[in-house]
Structure 1
Amino acid sequence: MEKRLIAVEVENFRSLRKISLPLRPLNVLVGPNGAGKTNVLEVFRFLADVIRTDLEPALNLRGGFGEVRFWGGEKPPSHIQIRLKATWTTHSSRNAPDEYLLRVGRLRGRGFSRQESFQFKRYRGRGRRITISGQKVSVVGIDKDQTESTEQEIGISALSSGLSTLPRLSDDRGGTEVTTVAQRLASFRVFDVRVDAARRPSRFPRAEREVLDDDAANLAGFLLNLRSRDEGAWRRLVDDAMAVLPQLEGIDFDYPSGAAREVVIVLNERGMRRPTQLADASYGTIRLLGLLALLYDPNPPALTCVEEIDHGLHPQALELLVERLREASERTQFLIATHSPALADRLAPEELIVCERRDDGSSMIPALSVERIEQIVDASEGLPLGELWFSGALGGDL
C-alpha cells in the first residue's frame, strides 16, 4: 500500500469556508487570483509549522487566530478546522485510513482552545483513537464492532499540539503511529525558488544528506551533494537542463573561498570563452535549476507544494516539467498552483483542480468533479485542458 495523503477537509481557514479535496500523486490548482489556491498551500505550511514550532507560534506567525480564520461573511466564525486522511501508518488502507483532526476555537474573552483527534488502524481489526481536549489526552481502543474502551489518560499543555508532544506514548498506546504522522506533517514543504538567494554561493555541504531549502537558497550545496551521492540522478538532471537550455553544455562548480567552505554553480555554455557563474544567469535559468533540484531530490518530503510553478519558465520547458513531476510523484505527492494554460494542456483530468470564488468571499475547491471535467473534454472532442480552461468551459477564469 502506497503511503499517501488521500484527502484534506478544511473549515474557516482564510478563504476556505468549507472544502473537501481528494488528493492524488499530482494535483494542480488552476483559477483566478483570489480563488484560494495559495490558501490551500498555506494549510499545509501551517500544519508543518504546528509540528515544528507548536500551535501558538504557528498562529502568531500568521498574525494570530483572528487573521487565520475565514475572512468573509457577516460574522467571524468561532473555529478553524483541518482534517487529513492518509495511509501513512503500517496497517492503514484507503478503507481504514489514518485520520487526524485539528480544531482551534476562540474562547470568550481572550485566547483560544485546541482540540485534536488521531485515529489509526492496529492489527486484527483493532484501532486506536487519541483525543486531546484542553489539558486532557485520552487513548481509546476501538474494536471491530466500534466499541470503545479508555485505556489511558495523560496530561498535556493546554496550547500544545498533541502530535508534537505525544510521541512519548508507549508503542502499544500509539507512540509509533503518532511519531509517523508527526514526521510526515513536519516534512511538508511549500517550495518557491528565491532567485536572488539561489544565485549566491552556499556553504559547502557538511551533512551526508543536504536538505534543499524551501527557497533553494542552498541550491549550489544541494546540487554538489547530489552529484557526489547519486551520479545517475545528477546526470539526468543535467541532461534535462541541457534539453531546455539549448546553449548549455554542462554544469560544474567553483569554490571562491577555497575548498570545503563555499560553493557556486557555473554553467558551461556554447560559444562562451569562460564558464558563466549562476549569479550572472537569467531568472528563468535559475528557477529551472531550482525546480529540477526539487524533482530529483533523493529524500523528498511527504508532500511538496509549489506556488506558480511555471513562473519565469519558457513554454518549451513545461512538457518536460510535467513529465518529471509525474515521475517524482511516485516518491512524493505534489500540490501545484499555476496560471498557465500551456501547463494545464499537458495534464490529465484527474490531475486538474479548478478553483473559483463565491460572492461571499469563500473558495469553491474543487469547483468541478473529475467526472464533470471528463464529460466536458469528451463533449469538446478531446480539446486539451488548458484550452478548455482558457475558453471558460471549465470555469475558474484566468
Structure 2
Amino acid sequence: MISALAVTGYRSLRDVRLGLGALNVVTGANGSGKSSLYRALRLLADAAQGRVVASLAAEGGMGSAQWAGPKVLSRAMKRGDVPVQGQHGGGPVSLKLGFGGDDFGYAVDLGLPIVSASLFFRDPVIKAEAAWTGPRLKRSTAFARREGPGARLLSEGGAWRAVPSPLGPADSLMTHCADPRGAPELLDLRERMRAWRFYDHLRTDRDAPARRPQVGTYTPALASDGADLAAALQTVREIGDAFALDAAVEDAFPGAAVSVTDRDGLFDVGMRQPGLLRPLGVAELSEGTLRYLLLVAALLSPRPAPLTVLNEPEASLHPDLIAPLARLIGAAAERAQVVVVSHAAALVEALDALPGARRFTLEKRLGETVVEGEAALGWAWPER
C-alpha cells in the first residue's frame, strides 16, 4: 500500500505531500487541483510503462505542466503584503513525482536537456530516479539509483554495481533495469505499478463501448473504457464473489438482477427489473444505471489492483445511488487501496464516514494547491 505521495512542481502542485490510507477521498472546489493530483498519479503509473516523458509531451510539454509560480513564496507574499514576484521556477526546471509504501518506494525527477542546437530541446528528460525499500528514501534503503545517463543497482552482497549501458534521456530504471536476476525488487515494484487501475472515462453515452456486445473472455480487470463490461461481470460471477455482485445490484436497484447472455461468443448484459416481462439490454439502460454497473465490475474485480483510482465516479448517478456506491467503494477498500477524486458533497460525506477513510480537501491559494489540515510529511528526493 502507498503510505506517502509527493509531488513537486507539477501544475498547481508546487509542493504537495499526502499520507495515504486504504481509502482516500480527495475533494475541493473546481480549480483547486483535484485533476492535477489525479494526473500526477497517472504520470507515476506511466513511469512504470516507460511512457512518462511521452505523457508529459501529450499534456503540452514541460512548459505547460510545470508549476507556473515562483519557486518560493515568502510570508509577505502569502499575507498579501507584497505582490507575488520572483523568477518563474526560481532555478532549474524540475518536476518531481514519488511515493513511499509499506515495502517499496519510487521517485523520479524530470527536467529539460542542456540547451543545444537541436529543435528537441523542450523534450522532458529524466534527471534522477530512485527506488528503495520502506516509506522513505535514505542512503541505507535505496536499491536502485539513476543519476544522469548512469544507473546503479544494489547487489545481494550489498555492493553497488553500475549498469553497463548508459540510459537515454527518456529511459527509465523501470523499463531498462528491471530484471528477475539482477534487479528482482525493481521488477516487482514495476509490475505492481503497472497493475494500478484508473477509471475516469467510463463512457455511458449512446455510442459507449459498453453498450455493444463484445467477444467474451475471462476478464479479471475491467478495461479503462468499460468496453468489456459483460465479460467482467461474468468473470466476477464465475471466479469472484457472485453474492457480492448480486448484493451490489440489489442495494442500488431493489428487486433487480443482472445476467450475461452469450450469443455465438458475443457477451451482452441484461438487467431484469420488477414489473417488466423481459430483461432490459445494456443498450436500453440509462446512463446512470450503466455507470453504476461499470463501477460494480471495476470494484468487485476478482483480482483487485494494488491501487484503484476513481475520478468523479458519481457522474450521471441519481442521488439515490450515492449511498450504494459509497458502500461498494468501502467494501473494495477492505481488499485493496482506493483513491476517490470527487467534488460531490454527498459522496464525500458518505465515504468520509467509513472506518479508516482519509479525506483531503484541496484549496487554491495564490495559484498554489494546498491541503487543508495536512500535517508535514517527511520526504527526500533523489539527487541529480
2: CA distance between counterparts of 1:243 and 1:21?
33
SS in 2 for 1:10: strand
Residue pairs, 1:5-24, within 5 angstroms: 5-24=2-21
Mapped pair 1:188 → 2:192: no
SS in 1 for 2:164: strand
2: CA distance between counterparts of 1:149 and 1:199?
52
Alignment-derived partner of residue 247 in structure 2: 239
Question: Is the contact between residue 30 and residue 339 of structure 1 (CA under 8 Å) also seen in structure 2?
Answer: yes
SS in 1 for 2:259: strand
TM-score by structure 1 length? 0.78
Q: 1:150 to 1:229 in 2, by over 3 A?
A: closer
Q: 1:108 to 1:250 in 2, by over 3 A?
A: same
Question: Is the contact between residue 56 and residue 65 of structure 2 (CA under 8 Å) also seen in structure 1?
Answer: yes
* 1:128, distance to aligned residue in structure 2 (A): 4.4
Residue pairs, 1:122-133, within 5 angstroms: 127-133=141-147
Match of 1:200 among 211, 219, 232: 211
Alignment-derived partner of residue 288 in structure 2: 284
* 1:27, distance to aligned residue in structure 2 (A): 0.5
Runs of 4+, deviation exceeding 4 Å:
140-143
Question: Is the contact between residue 180 and residue 187 of structure 2 (CA under 8 Å) also seen in structure 1?
Answer: no
2: CA distance between counterparts of 1:85 and 1:322?
27
2: CA distance between counterparts of 1:259 and 1:209?
18
- Structure with the bigger RCO (C-alpha within 8 Å, sep 6+) is 2
Q: How many residues align?
A: 340
Mapped pair 1:75 → 2:80: no
Q: 1:369 to 1:350 in 2, by over 3 A?
A: farther
Question: Is the contact between residue 305 and residue 336 of structure 2 (CA under 8 Å) also seen in structure 1?
Answer: yes
Amino acid at match of 2:191: Q
Q: 1:294 to 1:34 in 2, by over 3 A?
A: same
Question: Is the contact between residue 29 and residue 335 of structure 1 (CA under 8 Å) also seen in structure 2?
Answer: yes
SS in 2 for 1:190: strand
Alignment-derived partner of residue 384 in structure 1: none
Amino acid at match of 1:234: A
* 1:325, distance to aligned residue in structure 2 (A): 1.9
Amino acid at match of 1:30: T
Percent identity over the alignment is 24
1: CA distance between counterparts of 2:269 and 2:191?
32
2: CA distance between counterparts of 1:215 and 1:370?
36
Q: 1:370 to 1:107 in 2, by over 3 A?
A: closer
* 1:198, distance to aligned residue in structure 2 (A): 4.8
Amino acid at match of 2:333: S
SS in 1 for 2:16: strand
2: CA distance between counterparts of 1:68 and 1:370?
26
2: CA distance between counterparts of 1:249 and 1:318?
17
2: CA distance between counterparts of 1:37 and 1:120?
29
TM-score by structure 2 length? 0.81
Q: 1:117 to 1:222 in 2, by over 3 A?
A: same
CA-atom RMSD in angstroms: 2.6
Q: 1:149 to 1:312 in 2, by over 3 A?
A: same
Alignment-derived partner of residue 113 in structure 2: 107
Q: 1:153 to 1:270 in 2, by over 3 A?
A: closer
Match of 2:131 among 118, 124, 127: 118
* 1:142, distance to aligned residue in structure 2 (A): 11
Q: Return the structure number with greater helix share.
A: 1
1: CA distance between counterparts of 2:257 and 2:180?
51
2: CA distance between counterparts of 1:368 and 1:127?
30
SS in 1 for 2:145: strand
1: CA distance between counterparts of 2:279 and 2:156?
64
Mapped pair 1:216 → 2:226: yes
2: CA distance between counterparts of 1:205 and 1:19?
43
Which deviates further from its counterpart, 16-25 or 74-83?
A: 74-83
Alignment-derived partner of residue 388 in structure 1: none
2: CA distance between counterparts of 1:141 and 1:70?
37
Amino acid at match of 2:203: R
1: CA distance between counterparts of 2:100 and 2:156?
18
Alignment-derived partner of residue 265 in structure 1: 269
* 1:10, distance to aligned residue in structure 2 (A): 0.6
Residue pairs, 1:90-169, within 5 angstroms: 92=103, 98-109=104-115, 110=121, 111-114=123-126, 115-120=128-133, 127-140=141-154, 150-158=160-168, 159-168=170-179
Structure 2 portions without partners, runs of 5+: 71-86, 116-120, 135-139, 377-384
Amino acid at match of 1:14: R
